[in-house]
Amino acid sequence: MTYEDYLEALEEDMEATPDSSVAVINIAPADDLVVCNLREEIVKLSNYATFRVIKCDEDLTPATDDLALIARLKKAIKEKQDEYVKPIKSHLDKVQFVFKDLLACLDDIDKTNREKIAAYRAEQMKRQREAEELNRQAAELARRQAEFSGTGEFTVDTTPVEAPAPVQKVSTNMGTVSTAKVWKWELVDMSQVPEEYKIIDAAKITKVVKAGLRNIPGVRIYCDETIRVAAR
């Protein structure tokens, strides 16, 4: 068997063997006959709603029927949507899990490198501050000796202590790492925070109002009528 024959046989074998890493998924709901029929029903209901006039109790009957039909159509649309979405989501979850794990590992490695660089820079900055303080103290001692001697002479060694400043930028053939000042914040005293920076917890207020709370300072709690539909 020649090499070309081997490749041909391999391709035929691959075509005959289902690939578990490949999935066939429907992605064109607009062409689905059921979806087209649902769309036609929606167009009809839209026209009915647009031209509907309710002037007496009898007029409520067709409106009620349409609301019930709308509820049923919503359910049918949701079920049809699930037929398309669930297979996609199932495969999507599996794919995302793999890549999420890879990215999480890289995030950990990235964090480790950044922390070690930051720790090294912090140590270098500390040494620089210590050197500056030693130099300041030496200069101050020399000044005091000069005043005390009355001749302006001093014996203290004022040779500056050298401490290289932390490197601000490192460039290699692979990339560049540099530093930047980033302003951040943390809450210290909520009572002192200006009103424009305070946010209402809408979800919490809604929850307690539905539970029965009727009085919250600064909040108007009122009852509004809504239409409920129960489809059979």
Residue 221 counted as domain residue: no
Does some domain include residue 228?
Answer: no
Is residue 66, in this structure, part of any structural domain at all? yes
Residue 180 to residue 167: CA distance in whole angstroms: 12
Residue pair 156/138 in contact (Cβ under 8 Å)? The answer is yes
Residue 9 resides in a domain: no
Tens-level pLDDT at each residue, the chain (232 residues)? 565 665 566 567 656 555 667 778 888 999 999 999 999 999 999 999 999 999 999 999 999 999 999 999 999 999 999 999 999 998 999 899 999 999 999 999 999 999 999 999 899 999 999 999 999 999 999 889 888 888 888 888 888 888 888 888 889 998 999 988 888 888 899 889 888 888 989 999 999 999 999 999 999 999 998 888 888 8
Nearest to 162 by CA among 122, 126, 123, 135: 135
Residue at 13 is within a domain: no
Domains in the chain: how many in total? Answer: 1
Q: Give the burial class of 69: count Cβ atoms within 10 A of its Cβ; 0-12 exposed, 13-18 middle, 19 or more buried.
A: middle
Distance CA 82, CA 65 (A): 26
Q: Which pTM was predicted?
A: 0.61
Residue 76 lies in a domain: yes
- Answer whether residue 222 is part of any domain: no
Percent of the chain with pLDDT over 90: 56
Structural domain containing residue 88: 23-170+186-211
For residue 10, the model assigns a pLDDT of 59
